[in-house]
Chains A and B, each alone.
Chain A
């Protein structure tokens, strides 16, 4: 009798244990969800996160709060989110590819892919090299030729993405150029600098004021430091096309802490897919010059893996020349 009872209890236990996540997913979400944005208020990540939060709220029926935790290239916010329970109520919304790249540049401990469960991505961003229209070089090739003939004269700025600046350096390495590099604190600050011709060229992303100015013809696009097409500028080539060894991968997406029950992650992925394909969301993003595009968790993870692979190589490539 006792034995049967034990077996019954064991079976009950096991079923409950396995069944729990499913049950949790049924109930999920039953309280407000928090989107952690590890970047500043008012930036591109913040704004798109808020837009998505509204839609998620409509889909999931629970309020979605957006909390900003900026600092250290996103590491502060991500570390904070990883310290919360893996129950799907804390979602990281960020430029995760850049977050993974950053520790390599800062020479701190890199993030571990295994710590996160990727929900999916909603938008790539191209980093474009802009230049004022009154410069003697109008195309990328002319720019390279000019830089080669005038070593140490050209200054190149960056809109706060270290990776993009390093990619520009790698171009200089490949073409044997000597240029000056300046980092700005944000895409906005970099836009001011390039529009005022305080630097000779500057890289910032699609969606920034510099990009909008370029749409009005106030700036020239030299090249896309990424690997896709630039919205509204189909004729601008990208580094992958041109055969350069390195390019930026800037992808905005969502993730939760690893260990979050699979059904919950799935539900979040489905919601993200639905929301990012919502016509209103797409229209708003396209108007801003952004490209809404959904990638599921697996595909997103692949991009992150590409990042983690290519960034240390990029650093090594650039360093080799500096020492040599």
Chain B
């Protein structure tokens, strides 16, 4: 305990130098920009800056990258709320209620709550990172293919029931998403699935073009059709910018719940941060006093998932620092940066270069603080985006989507997919389907399939061995209870 305080103090002492503060600020600003721009994510920004960081010292590079990562998480929620375009898979859930809120004129409130959520989540997760990295880093290693399967399957359960409404509709969306996830060259056997001889489909249908299409382009198509309520062009009053006291009261518990969920899920490899967002959504809906508002602009539905996705960042750093294993592509980039500076993360790094660790932790706190200071006033600026007339805004959105998608893999196929899914999204939404499960299933489906096959290979085909393990069993049982207990209670009440 004393060691932590000592470490933190020395870290802050070093981090509060002009140079490191500059990099923290630069990182957070860059990160926010990349988060706001749909498509370009923290990974892209880090990739571009990697060679630039070669000339800096390792600590500065780490601070810069951490800033970018956190900043992108903050920025991602902005486009989700204002334009219904998720910047990352982790922002998809924010779109659901966040956008509804902005349609109702509560955009400012949503943005403010998202910012504060992110700040609280960031702080909690950095705290968690500090404690866990030192003592509990081995948790991440307990998760192998069987455990990932459990996470995926349980997450899928939550996903299907997340948006409520018709079970059939949710199932259809989810299954379509999972089916799309099977397209590509199977990495286990090398067999081509549903590629129809198109080489580029070999890498599968990626999340980004589908998300940008179903959310972004479809949105544009819907507005062109004129079915959307014309956005008010009057000046936004300050009162509307900020959440009401009631809204704050409702969001704060959600923020804390989301933070813990996000942090713990971030510890584990795979798309767990994404899963955390919709487990959070589901939880908030169950625990809320106003469940009927979910899907139509409930503030907790923004607070919880936003906290979850930010907290997952801190969680993801734990395995990187403690074990030297990157669990997301962005973390792999951070790892690469460290290695290029001659540092190999792992338990040794924490002992030998403890000062690096503490300085980075300290500047994460500082960065988080900078972000909230930056973002809250910017709420006013961002909200005014909504005042831009449709005929100007929509083409800009299309352009941003195109650039964003192309910037990832320089693939023309991706652009075609963008267009196709834009149309599909339009049709689905006109038909009244909730499209979020489709996108999320696209991400989780492959994870489930891969983990299942890997787990079965390891156990030699023994399914029991895959299911009846301590961590997996507890997840399955907990999920089962989550679903059956309310039903049982309802039944008891009826008698």
**In the bound complex, do residue A180 and residue B142 qualify as a contact, i.e. CB atoms below 8 Å apart?**
no
Is residue A162 contacting chain B, with contact meaning CB distance below 8 A? yes
**In the bound complex, do residue B199 and residue A50 qualify as a contact, i.e. CB atoms below 8 Å apart?**
no
**In the bound complex, do residue B323 and residue A42 qualify as a contact, i.e. CB atoms below 8 Å apart?**
no
Segment 328-354 of B: residues with Cβ below 8 Å from A: 329-333, 335-336, 339-340, 342, 344-348
**In the bound complex, do residue A209 and residue B409 qualify as a contact, i.e. CB atoms below 8 Å apart?**
no
**In the bound complex, do residue B144 and residue A288 qualify as a contact, i.e. CB atoms below 8 Å apart?**
no
**In the bound complex, do residue B324 and residue A284 qualify as a contact, i.e. CB atoms below 8 Å apart?**
no
**In the bound complex, do residue A283 and residue B342 qualify as a contact, i.e. CB atoms below 8 Å apart?**
yes
**In the bound complex, do residue A46 and residue B336 qualify as a contact, i.e. CB atoms below 8 Å apart?**
yes
Is residue B202 contacting chain A, with contact meaning CB distance below 8 A? yes
Complex formed: what's the CA distance from A227 to B342 in Å? 26
**In the bound complex, do residue B144 and residue A196 qualify as a contact, i.e. CB atoms below 8 Å apart?**
yes
Return the chain A residue nearest B190 by Cβ: A106
Is residue B141 contacting chain A, with contact meaning CB distance below 8 A? yes
In whole Å, how far is A315's beta carbon from the nearest beta carbon of chain B? 12
Segment 178-203 of B: residues with Cβ below 8 Å from A: 184-185, 187-188, 190-192, 199-200, 202-203
**Interface segment, one of B283-291, B382-390, B453-461:** B453-461
What 0/1 pattern do residues 261 to 283 of A give for CB contact below 8 A with B? 00000000000000000000001
What 0/1 pattern do residues 149 to 190 of A give for CB contact below 8 A with B? 000100100001010000000000000000011111100110
On chain A, the residues within 8 Å of B345 by CB distance are 212
**In the bound complex, do residue B141 and residue A195 qualify as a contact, i.e. CB atoms below 8 Å apart?**
yes
Is residue B43 contacting chain A, with contact meaning CB distance below 8 A? yes
Is residue B244 contacting chain A, with contact meaning CB distance below 8 A? no
On chain A, the residues within 8 Å of B184 by CB distance are 71
What 0/1 pattern do residues 289 to 327 of B give for CB contact below 8 A with A? 000000000000000000000000000000100011111
**In the bound complex, do residue A67 and residue B202 qualify as a contact, i.e. CB atoms below 8 Å apart?**
no
What 0/1 pattern do residues 404 to 435 of B give for CB contact below 8 A with A? 00000111000000000000000000000000
Return the chain A residue nearest B138 by Cβ: A196
Do A41 and B332 form a contact, CB below 8 Å, given A53-B51, A196-B142? yes
Interface SS majority for chain B: helix
Return the chain B residue nearest A216 by Cβ: B348
In whole Å, how far is A49's beta carbon from the nearest beta carbon of chain B? 10
**In the bound complex, do residue B460 and residue A107 qualify as a contact, i.e. CB atoms below 8 Å apart?**
no
**In the bound complex, do residue A76 and residue B200 qualify as a contact, i.e. CB atoms below 8 Å apart?**
yes
Complex formed: what's the CA distance from A160 to B409 in Å? 21
In whole Å, how far is B28's beta carbon from the nearest beta carbon of chain A? 21
Q: How many residues in A have their beta carbons less than 8 Å from beta carbons of B? A: 57
**In the bound complex, do residue A42 and residue B336 qualify as a contact, i.e. CB atoms below 8 Å apart?**
yes
In whole Å, how far is A76's beta carbon from the nearest beta carbon of chain B? 6
What 0/1 pattern do residues 81 to 119 of A give for CB contact below 8 A with B? 000000000000000000000100111100000000000
On chain A, the residues within 8 Å of B142 by CB distance are 196
**In the bound complex, do residue A155 and residue B340 qualify as a contact, i.e. CB atoms below 8 Å apart?**
no
Most-contacted residue by chain A among B43, B144, B319 (CB, 10 A): B144
Return the chain B residue nearest A70 by Cβ: B203
**In the bound complex, do residue B325 and residue A47 qualify as a contact, i.e. CB atoms below 8 Å apart?**
no
Is residue A54 contacting chain B, with contact meaning CB distance below 8 A? yes
**In the bound complex, do residue B410 and residue A41 qualify as a contact, i.e. CB atoms below 8 Å apart?**
no
On chain B, the residues within 8 Å of A155 by CB distance are 457-458, 460
Complex formed: what's the CA distance from A67 to B108 in Å? 38
In whole Å, how far is B307's beta carbon from the nearest beta carbon of chain A? 26
On chain A, the residues within 8 Å of B199 by CB distance are 72, 75-76, 79
What 0/1 pattern do residues 191 to 202 of A give for CB contact below 8 A with B? 111011011000
Query: Contact partner of A288 among B331, B339, B347, CB < 8 A?
Result: B339
In whole Å, how far is A321's beta carbon from the nearest beta carbon of chain B? 19
**In the bound complex, do residue A212 and residue B409 qualify as a contact, i.e. CB atoms below 8 Å apart?**
no
Is residue A40 contacting chain B, with contact meaning CB distance below 8 A? yes
Complex formed: what's the CA distance from A51 to B339 in Å? 11
Is residue A68 contacting chain B, with contact meaning CB distance below 8 A? yes
In whole Å, how far is A45's beta carbon from the nearest beta carbon of chain B? 11
**In the bound complex, do residue B185 and residue A54 qualify as a contact, i.e. CB atoms below 8 Å apart?**
no
On chain B, the residues within 8 Å of A68 by CB distance are 47, 409
Complex formed: what's the CA distance from A76 to B409 in Å? 11
Complex formed: what's the CA distance from A68 to B199 in Å? 16
Do A41 and B458 form a contact, CB below 8 Å, given A51-B54, A106-B190? no
**In the bound complex, do residue A209 and residue B325 qualify as a contact, i.e. CB atoms below 8 Å apart?**
yes
Do A71 and B203 form a contact, CB below 8 Å, given A41-B43, A183-B187? yes
**In the bound complex, do residue B145 and residue A195 qualify as a contact, i.e. CB atoms below 8 Å apart?**
no
Do A54 and B51 form a contact, CB below 8 Å, given A42-B335, A46-B336, A68-B409? yes
**In the bound complex, do residue A76 and residue B202 qualify as a contact, i.e. CB atoms below 8 Å apart?**
yes
Return the chain A residue nearest B191 by Cβ: A106
**In the bound complex, do residue A71 and residue B460 qualify as a contact, i.e. CB atoms below 8 Å apart?**
no
Do A185 and B460 form a contact, CB below 8 Å, given A42-B333, A47-B339? no
In whole Å, how far is B447's beta carbon from the nearest beta carbon of chain A? 10
On chain A, the residues within 8 Å of B475 by CB distance are none
Is residue B269 contacting chain A, with contact meaning CB distance below 8 A? yes
On chain A, the residues within 8 Å of B143 by CB distance are 192, 196
Segment 99-148 of B: residues with Cβ below 8 Å from A: 140-146
Is residue A24 contacting chain B, with contact meaning CB distance below 8 A? no
A-B CB contact pairs (8 Å), 11 listed: A40-B332, A47-B339, A53-B51, A54-B51, A71-B200, A73-B185, A73-B190, A188-B326, A196-B143, A207-B339, A213-B323
Give the top 9 A-B pairs by smallest Cβ distance, nearest first: A71-B203, A42-B332, A198-B144, A106-B190, A196-B141, A72-B202, A47-B336, A287-B342, A42-B333
A71-B202, A183-B187, A189-B269 known; 17 new pairs, CB 8 Å cut-off, are: A42-B329, A46-B336, A53-B51, A68-B409, A71-B203, A71-B204, A76-B200, A185-B450, A188-B326, A192-B141, A192-B144, A192-B319, A193-B144, A209-B325, A212-B344, A216-B347, A284-B342
